[in-house]
A and B are shown apart, each in its own frame.
Chain A
Amino acid sequence: MRTFEQKWTAWLDGQLSGSELTEFEASLPDKAVAEAEKANAKKLGALLKREIGAHGLANEEFFSHQLRERIARESARPSGERDGGVSTWWTIRRLLWTGTASLAVFLAFAIFVMHDKNPAEQSQYLTQILNARVDPVVSPNATISMFEAKEDRVTVLWTEGLQSLPADYAAK
């Protein structure tokens, strides 16, 4: 034996039939109001069905979860990657630093090479004595040295102990 509420729910769902339907509709105090209420219940049911069905097909929760994960990953990356789209190590600041450092290294090498080259140029600039010798029989105690008066750009071969000669040898 069903209660009135159970029969009412069944009537709204269209599940009453035969004598049970006839008896229930006869028991209703105002059938027109009841029919209107039934129609509203059907509309509501259709609306809920449609909304619930759409929710199930779109799988919003799944995409929402993926979206949240992606946002979290993007937030964890450096700002340069997010802004540029294509990530690169060569930021403007690094380019500037690298350029400055390269210039400094170049200048250091240039100064080093120039500094190193000067003595060679200087020696080429002055007369060089490659070798010198005296006759050991004529001047057994002779010594030879050489030096450069760089201020006057004169190269000197200095001998000591050569055999002394009388003043007559100064003749033209």
Chain B
Amino acid sequence: MARWLALFTAFIALIVSVAPELHGAETVWSGLVIAENVAQPQPIPPELTRIERPLKQLFGYNQFQVIGQSSKILKTGQEDWLATSKFFGLHVDARGETEAGYVLNLKLYKEKELLLETDTKLSRRSPLVIKGPQVGSGQLLLVLVVQ
């Protein structure tokens, strides 16, 4: 009886210690979004549904359109990828996995010109929104979400 109890305890301890490491491959969605105020706003894209309320409250626009996007499945946490539109490019370079998410280096290009660079720890539960340059009457936003 005592031996079974010891084995059970060891098994539970093993599960508890290993569980945090058992993250499956995760997908990071990165998008280039144009936010505008229009008379007849289009429905918000599904990728942005979970952050619709803060997007509207923080930026004050009623329409959000994705002009470029990329979904990348991260297996090693060292991948890099590019989300592009006609004139913009967002280069994402994953530089490792942390307990909460991923360390990312982001570079926003306008054609070949580097406009903005940032290093972040992207949490699995917390999207990142970057306010880019003014584009016409709207605003370029960069959005990264761990799906």
List the interface of chain A (C-beta within 8 A of B): 124-135, 138-139, 148-149, 151-159, 162-172
The answer to whether B135 and A169 touch across the interface, beta carbons within 8 angstroms, is yes
B110-121, CB under 8 A of A: which get 1 and which 0?
100111111111
A50 to B117, CA, bound (A): 120
Contact A153 to B131, CB < 8 A, known contacts A133-B117, A135-B113, A171-B86 = no
The answer to whether A162 and B115 touch across the interface, beta carbons within 8 angstroms, is yes
Q: Is the interface of B mostly helix, strand, loop or mixed?
A: strand
The answer to whether A164 and B129 touch across the interface, beta carbons within 8 angstroms, is no
A169 to B113, CA, bound (A): 14
The answer to whether A171 and B67 touch across the interface, beta carbons within 8 angstroms, is yes
Contact A130 to B120, CB < 8 A, known contacts A162-B132, A169-B136, A172-B67 = yes
The answer to whether B126 and A154 touch across the interface, beta carbons within 8 angstroms, is yes
Q: Can you show 23 pairs from A to B with CB atoms below 8 A apart?
A: A125-B125, A125-B126, A127-B121, A127-B126, A128-B120, A129-B128, A130-B119, A130-B120, A132-B116, A132-B118, A149-B54, A155-B120, A155-B123, A155-B126, A157-B129, A162-B132, A162-B134, A169-B88, A169-B110, A170-B67, A170-B135, A172-B68, A172-B86
Tell me the smallest distance from the CB of A162 to a CB of chain B, in Å: 4
Q: Is B4 an interface residue (CB 8 A)?
A: no
A154 contacts across to B, CB distance below 8 A: 51, 54, 58, 126-129
B132 contacts across to A, CB distance below 8 A: 159, 162
Contact partner, B136, options A138, A151, A158, A166, Cβ 8 Å: A166
Of residues A165, A169, A171, which shows the largest number of chain B Cβ atoms within 10 Å of its Cβ? A169
Considering only CB atoms and an 8 Å cut-off, how many residues of chain B contact the other chain?
43
Contact partner, A125, options B53, B57, B100, B117, Cβ 8 Å: B100
Contact A127 to B101, CB < 8 A, known contacts A132-B118, A171-B67 = yes
The answer to whether B58 and A157 touch across the interface, beta carbons within 8 angstroms, is no
The answer to whether A153 and B116 touch across the interface, beta carbons within 8 angstroms, is no
Tell me the smallest distance from the CB of A135 to a CB of chain B, in Å: 6
Q: Is B94 an interface residue (CB 8 A)?
A: no
Contact partner, B133, options A125, A132, A133, A163, Cβ 8 Å: A163
B77 contacts across to A, CB distance below 8 A: none
Contact partner, B120, options A124, A129, A133, Cβ 8 Å: A129
Q: Is B137 an interface residue (CB 8 A)?
A: yes
Contacts A127-B120, A154-B58 known; list 5 others, CB within 8 Å: A125-B123, A128-B121, A131-B118, A135-B115, A159-B132
